[in-house]
Amino acid sequence: MNDAKRIRIAGTAVAVRGNDVDTDRIMPARFLKCITFEGLGAHVFEDDRRLLGKAGQTHPFDDPQRQNAQVLLVNKNFGCGSSREHAPRGLRSWNRGIGVIVGESFAEIFFSNATACGVPCPTAGEADVQKAFDACLADPQLVFTVDLESMTLSFGGQSIPLFMPEGPRKQMLEGCWDATLELLEGEAEIRRKAESLRYFRNWAR
C-alpha cells in the first residue's frame, strides 16, 4: 500500500473562515442519496457558494485562483453536525482533490471519516492558523507543505508546528488508513481462518 502513504502533501491552499462549519454546509443533505461518492466534489459548499454568488460575493471554492488547491485551511470545530462521510469524500474529490485539512480543531466524527478516506486533519494553534490564513490570502500561488513526519506546515519561509493523534498519524504514514483495502488484501488469510472454523466452513461457496 505504498501509494496510500501520506507523508508530505504540498500544494496551493484555499481558506474557509469561520468556526463550527458543519457538514450540512460542506455537503448539503440532498446529495446524500447517491449510492457511490462519485461526483460529490462538484457540490462541496454548494448552498454557501450560491448564496454568496447572489450577494455578489465569491466563495473561496469559487475563486478561479484557488481551483487547483490541495490544502484546506479552517478554524475551530470544522465538520461538526451530522456524521456524514460524504463531507470529507466531497472535499477529497473536489477538482484536484483536497489532500489535507489544517485547522484549529475538528469535530471527532469528521476527523474519523476524513482519516478513513485518506485525508489527514492535523491541527495548529490559533495564532499559527491565522499566519497561514494571511499568507494564503496574500498569495494564491503560495505552496503549503504539510509534513506528517516532522509535523510541520511550511509556507513562504515560515514553518509552524502541527499536532495529530499518534494512531491516525501512523495510519497515514504507513498507508494503512483504508480499512476496506486492508480487508481485501487479507482475503487469503480470512478464507484459511474461515475454513478452520467448523461452524463457518464452506462459507464462501
What's the pLDDT band for 204 if we cut at 50, 70, 90? low
Range of the domain at 89: 2-174
In terms of DSSP bridges, do strands 100-102 and 71-73 run parallel, antiparallel, or are they unpaired?
Answer: parallel
Same domain, 116 and 187: no
CB atoms within 10 A of CB 54: 8
Same domain, 6 and 59: yes
> What is the distance between the alpha carbons of residues 24 and 199, in angstroms, rounded to a whole number?
45
Same domain, 186 and 106: no
- In this structure, the chain runs to a length of 205
pLDDT digit string (tens) for 100-134? 999 999 999 999 999 999 999 999 999 999 999 99
Same domain, 107 and 86: yes
How many domains does the chain contain in total? 2
> What is the distance between the alpha carbons of residues 75 and 123, in angstroms, rounded to a whole number?
9
> What is the distance between the alpha carbons of residues 168 and 101, in angstroms, rounded to a whole number?
14
Same domain, 194 and 142: no
CB atoms within 10 A of CB 35: 5
* Residue whose cell numbers read 494564503: 136
Q: Which residues contact 20 (CB under 8 A, 6 or more apart)?
A: 76, 77, 80
pLDDT digit string (tens) for 40-96? 999 999 999 999 999 999 999 999 999 999 999 999 999 999 888 999 999 999 999
> What is the distance between the alpha carbons of residues 178 and 142, in angstroms, rounded to a whole number?
30
- pTM of this prediction exceeds 0.85: yes
- Helix-, strand-, coil-residue percentages of the chain, each rounded to 5: 40, 15, 40
